[in-house]
A = this chain, B = another copy of it.
């Protein structure tokens, strides 16, 4: 079986690697000349809108998926004329647009922050008077890792905010007070079957994911599954989806959707019976979903900008190193490390040693 993947970054790389044991081959469509997925399959170097290249892709693939949501919806629609492509184009469209995303949650009775659609300075003023401050102004599309947004603390922050973010469509989101940020990685098969991983508790630094801990018997696990299950069915979704929530007491407040495998699910490579990458491939190709059961204690740390010395990482018992073989650049995700152990003491020790190691390279 050959799988087409639009995008050739580390998520594509890990999709390709997950397919190999199953005998699947991956073909990546990616314009970047040094794409790190190249090692995990065949690379077609071309723009995402290059119809000639897309035809080359679909001609050799049984199904197509993508590793990020910022690809043109027209590309997905064009591919869909030739081979099955999952997740469906409509879920991409929703995930790319913060207003549609929030509306999807609300239509499915899933709590969100207070939110308003903003098309003008007047809309913004009205929203501020309804929602109050502090609040966050975000562009509807193209924002990620803290980009395309502005925190409004006081009236004076509001004055030029609409201009500053480019006078594009935006949303204003009320401030949410929360205990922790969690993400729910779930998968839905072509037959509608669903499976959910243990909630990941996420810590961010400078707006980028720093650490994800696979929680054990999280009190909000079943509520998260209830909410994400509704989203999966509403979208008639196929593949892995990620929904990020704020957790506050006994409540979950939905924040956003990623219609793909997700950084906060990398722990599933070692820590679950079937990884998010393998389950995504199983779903996309119509195979039965694999067990999402967590095995042992697990946490993932991103390696951003620099890698610690390899031997320092590998000498820690219970630690698994993932080097994306990407050029190091400040703020760039170039690898991750997973702590995985059946034994609580080994796990705690490894986390402590990794904390120190990563602290030292920052």
Contacts and interface: CB of A to CB of B under 8 A. Distances in A.
Interface of A: 17, 20-23, 25, 39-40, 273-274, 282, 287-288, 290-291, 293, 295-296, 310-311, 314-315, 317-318, 320-325, 335, 340-343, 346
A314 B291 CA distance: 10
Contact of A325 (B23, B39, B288): B23
A324 B310 CA distance: 30
The 8 closest A-B pairs by CB, nearest first: A23-B323, A288-B315, A291-B317, A23-B325, A295-B342, A21-B322, A288-B314, A287-B314
A311 to B, nearest CB: 6
Among A21, A314, A317, A322, residue most surrounded by chain B Cβ atoms (within 10 Å): A21
25 contacts: A17-B20, A21-B322, A22-B321, A23-B335, A273-B317, A273-B340, A274-B320, A287-B310, A287-B314, A288-B311, A288-B314, A288-B315, A290-B317, A291-B318, A291-B341, A293-B317, A293-B318, A293-B341, A293-B342, A293-B343, A295-B295, A295-B342, A296-B296, A296-B342, A342-B342
A313 to B, nearest CB: 9
Nearest to A288: B315
A167 to B, nearest CB: 44
A180 B22 CA distance: 31
Contacts of A346: 291, 293
Contact of A21 (B291, B311, B323): B323
Nearest to A295: B342
A72 B154 CA distance: 77
Contacts of A17: 17, 20-21
* Among A23, A318, A324, A335: residue with most chain B CB under 10 A: A23
Contacts of A321: 21-22
Nearest to A343: B293
